[in-house]
Structure 1
């Protein structure tokens, strides 16, 4: 009798969980809003550029800082690659500790220096500090270093969920800010921070923040324009395949929806059908395209993108960053190999990747990835 009671209790508990889960799914919105975001007023755009002017040096020093265990792939690599293309500043990637930086959800890189080495070489600090999303947004070493750089006059830029890292330093207290749509509530836990919707880039009193992952593209171009001029930013935009950019954004087009939740659940449960997809790692690889391709495929919940090469030696990217292969092989199965990074400009490579995900896993998974990247999926 006791076993029957236990069995019925377990079944009842499971039924209750299913009912609660089903109700939760039904209460989620079906589809996000659609439409075009309004243009940014000219005076606002000019104020943003003025606020991002180099604070100290004519040729600025830009530091991109991450923790060694899981800093976000595109947040870390895309600003570096775009700014290195422009050649209007000295750009360095940093880590809080010695050794490689393992990026999330894909890739490993050897940064140029540790924060201690940077401080020894540049005691007066950077002009700009770019902060990506990190697996720990309360890392004490990272927070203290970011605060110290702000104290030396650096403009601090929190990319995507890097905004919550910056928020934890206290530098956003009393200021306007934005972040990835999924982390807005985390930002709002800081009662004095004023969340600003419908802007991909927000600058307030020496601190800038952006929306989701793909926003580091317009952010980097805006920074290039502030440092140099519009012509230089337009030249770099053409090189990366971006026809236009600014801070316009429609925040309500990116939100947690029923299709998003169902895709996450379905793709997670399909663990037996998960793939490892390979990207050949070569010297002079385009780090921006590589980041976008590897990040996108690794966010499907159906696959993980890995780099491979014939030897363990790091390959130097187009912008001069050492990228380490994940696998040592020169014989990756053709049906599980992805196109090399650099065959298309980065923005085009991202669109091509989303189309390829659509063809391989379906439109819902492509929409799911685009939503995570906070990027409008191509038709």
Structure 2
């Protein structure tokens, strides 16, 4: 009897403490249906491609920077995997310090070089620097290196909330830009001279490019490939990725903090007894783009945490050279908690299959919060 009163008393205290939080949730807008993304004029696309042309080398050098303790999974791996499969540039994953890069919300990888090693090997700097989202925007080494690369003439590309890092380096002052919907106000508060451009997946202003959302690195890299090697090459890579089309179109109004989003996140977080680990088997030669998308999606349900496993904890080399470090050397899980990267599907289709698998396991509302975090227009295609 006393245990029952203790439980109900605890629940009452929680309810009282959350009263203000509940008022906040119900002040949020309801979900709204996605609208047709407004078109992007061909003249705007032409200007974008002209600005993104290789600034130095005929075969460009691309550096993707990460901080070792927390860099966004898809932002770091997808540009590397897409550009390497295109074979139109030399691509290097760099880190601010020696050792592995721990990605969030899942995976660990071995970078190709530190920023100091990169500078020694390439004193003239990169042609392009890709900047993923990072756990913090004020890493002194990352910011100083970005400024030095910009001074050497590199085009700086902020992926998703990586735009905040570019902004923190002072490289977006007075520029047009965009970023992930959740971090937009934060970016503009820190960098008030930025002009936000809505309804664009990609915004290019001179030698600075920014994108909306995590999955926007797909159209961004295809646009970069087109600027480097032409439309035909970009279309071939798009087919390999499973993308029927891509451009800068985006319906920004469909991505905002809503009541269904907040209540689903809260419900999934509070149901701690239903949280589970899910495992992804790492295989040599697997597609790192699919791996990144699948691991990222399953890690954003607020119901599941992803770990990777292989026969040993040695690095597993993916199709285009990413060296992924397994979390464990065994799964030790029932079969229904192994999740697939859908090796028979192209990466964009693997993401769609993953979202369907999440819906089947946790419900459509959870799938919608995953898509919202990825800023992914869930319509059967990536745009």
Q: TM-score, normalised by structure 1?
A: 0.95
Show the counterpart of 1:300. Answer: 301
> In 1, are the aligned partners of 2:341 and 2:350 still within 8 Å (CA)?
no
Q: Secondary structure at the match of 1:328?
A: coil
User: 1 CA distance for matches of 2:331 and 2:13?
Assistant: 51
User: 1 CA distance for matches of 2:38 and 2:165?
Assistant: 29
Show the counterpart of 1:60. Answer: 60
Show the counterpart of 1:127. Answer: 127
> In 2, are the aligned partners of 1:187 and 1:195 still within 8 Å (CA)?
no
Q: Measure how far apart 1:27 and its partner are.
A: 1.3
User: 2 CA distance for matches of 1:35 and 1:267?
Assistant: 28
Mapping 1:27-42, distance limit 5 Å: 27-42=27-42
Mapping 1:263-302, distance limit 5 Å: 263-302=264-303
Q: Measure how far apart 1:342 and its partner are.
A: 2.6
User: 2 CA distance for matches of 1:171 and 1:64?
Assistant: 17
Q: Measure how far apart 1:284 and its partner are.
A: 0.6
Q: Measure how far apart 1:20 and its partner are.
A: 2.0
Show the counterpart of 1:87. Answer: 87
> Kindly tell me: are residues 112 and 170 of structure 1, through their superposed partners in 2, closer, same or farther at Cα, counting changes over 3 Å?
same
Note the alpha carbon deviations across 1:170-203, whole angstroms, 9 max, x for none: 0100000000000000111111111111101001
Show the counterpart of 1:213. Answer: 214
Q: Secondary structure at the match of 2:70?
A: strand
User: 2 CA distance for matches of 1:15 and 1:50?
Assistant: 57
> Kindly tell me: are residues 11 and 66 of structure 1, through their superposed partners in 2, closer, same or farther at Cα, counting changes over 3 Å?
closer
Q: Measure how far apart 1:260 and its partner are.
A: 0.4
Q: Measure how far apart 1:136 and its partner are.
A: 1.1
Count, aligned residues: 370
Note the alpha carbon deviations across 1:125-162, whole angstroms, 9 max, x for none: 00000000000111000000000000000000000000
Q: CA RMSD in A?
A: 1.6
1:153 matched to 2:153: yes
Q: TM-score, normalised by structure 2?
A: 0.94
Q: Secondary structure at the match of 1:134?
A: coil
User: 2 CA distance for matches of 1:378 and 1:36?
Assistant: 11
User: 2 CA distance for matches of 1:318 and 1:306?
Assistant: 20
Q: Measure how far apart 1:32 and its partner are.
A: 2.9
User: 2 CA distance for matches of 1:243 and 1:14?
Assistant: 48
User: 2 CA distance for matches of 1:67 and 1:333?
Assistant: 34
> In 1, are the aligned partners of 2:177 and 2:196 still within 8 Å (CA)?
yes
User: 2 CA distance for matches of 1:342 and 1:142?
Assistant: 34
User: 2 CA distance for matches of 1:179 and 1:153?
Assistant: 23
> Kindly tell me: are residues 169 and 310 of structure 1, through their superposed partners in 2, closer, same or farther at Cα, counting changes over 3 Å?
same
Show the counterpart of 2:25. Answer: 25
Q: Measure how far apart 1:291 and its partner are.
A: 0.2
Q: Secondary structure at the match of 2:305?
A: strand
User: 2 CA distance for matches of 1:166 and 1:375?
Assistant: 22
> In 2, are the aligned partners of 1:200 and 1:248 still within 8 Å (CA)?
yes
User: 2 CA distance for matches of 1:277 and 1:142?
Assistant: 32
> Kindly tell me: are residues 27 and 252 of structure 1, through their superposed partners in 2, closer, same or farther at Cα, counting changes over 3 Å?
same
Q: Measure how far apart 1:116 and its partner are.
A: 0.5
User: 2 CA distance for matches of 1:153 and 1:32?
Assistant: 42
Mapping 1:105-184, distance limit 5 Å: 105-184=105-184
> In 1, are the aligned partners of 2:281 and 2:308 still within 8 Å (CA)?
yes
1:191 matched to 2:192: yes
Show the counterpart of 1:239. Answer: 240
Q: Measure how far apart 1:273 and its partner are.
A: 1.4
> Kindly tell me: are residues 50 and 329 of structure 1, through their superposed partners in 2, closer, same or farther at Cα, counting changes over 3 Å?
same
Q: Measure how far apart 1:331 and its partner are.
A: 5.5
